[in-house]
């Protein structure tokens, strides 16, 4: 559980029993807590209810996000996660390039026709922005 909220991460992310949850590029050190009851997959399924995708660069995100959004259930969501600004220096020292921030993530999602509805701390390293289809596009 990251940040000040006592809400379990699973609830913050909108993961429910029976959901197909895609964990895309999940770093080994990220603990999402108990996902029992959800159908967790690591490969892109035909349809996902909730996707969490982790990126450090705009180039990798731009190459991956269209496919993730296309395979998202009509009422589903995609959480795009990027490293918090506070850890950029530590990542750079390990040779990890980071050029993502909330603004760049939001701009890309909006350009692809989705809307952002929520931001959350995934853990001490990662933030996430939740994208969903516009209500008018859910027909």
| pLDDT by 10-residue block (mean), the chain, 139 residues | 74 98 98 97 98 98 98 98 96 96 98 98 98 91
Where residue 17 sits, what CATH number does that domain have?
Answer: 3.40.50.150
Does residue 4 lie within any of the structural domains? no
**pLDDT for the residue numbered 2:** 52
Residue 106 lies in a domain: yes
- Backbone φ, ψ for residue 2 (5° rounding): -100, 155
Which residue from 110, 71, 138, 137 is spatially nearest to 129, judged by alpha carbons?
110
Q: What is the DSSP letter of 26?
A: -
pTM for the whole thing?
0.94
Query: Which parts of the chain are beta strand (E)?
Result: 20-24, 39-41, 48-54, 72-83, 114-121, 126-133
Quote the CA–CA distance of 84 and 64 in Å, as a whole number.
20
Residue 103 included in any domain: yes
**Which pLDDT score, from 0 to 100, does residue 139 have?**
74
Residue 3 lies in a domain: no
Domain for residue 107, yes or no?
yes
pLDDT for 64 = 98
Which residue range forms the structural domain that includes residue 55?
9-137
Asked whether residue 1 is domain-assigned, the answer is: no
């Amino acid at each position: 559980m990251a940040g000040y909220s006592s809400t379990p991460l699973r609830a913050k992310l909108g993961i429910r029993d029976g959901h197909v949850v895609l964990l895309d590029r999940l770093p080994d050190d990220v603990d999402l807590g108990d996902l029992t009851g959800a159908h967790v997959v690591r490969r892109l399924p035909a349809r996902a209810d909730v996707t969490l995708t982790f990126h450090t660069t705009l180039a990798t995100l731009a190459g991956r996000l269209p496919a993730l959004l296309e395979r998202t259930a009509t009422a589903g969501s995609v959480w795009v996660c990027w490293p918090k600004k506070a850890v950029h220096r530590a990542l750079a020292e390990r040779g990890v390039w980071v050029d993502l921030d909330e603004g760049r993530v939001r701009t890309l999602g909006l350009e692809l026709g989705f809307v952002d509805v929520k931001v959350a701390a995934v853990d001490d390293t990662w933030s996430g922005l939740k994208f969903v289809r516009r209500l008018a596009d859910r027909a």
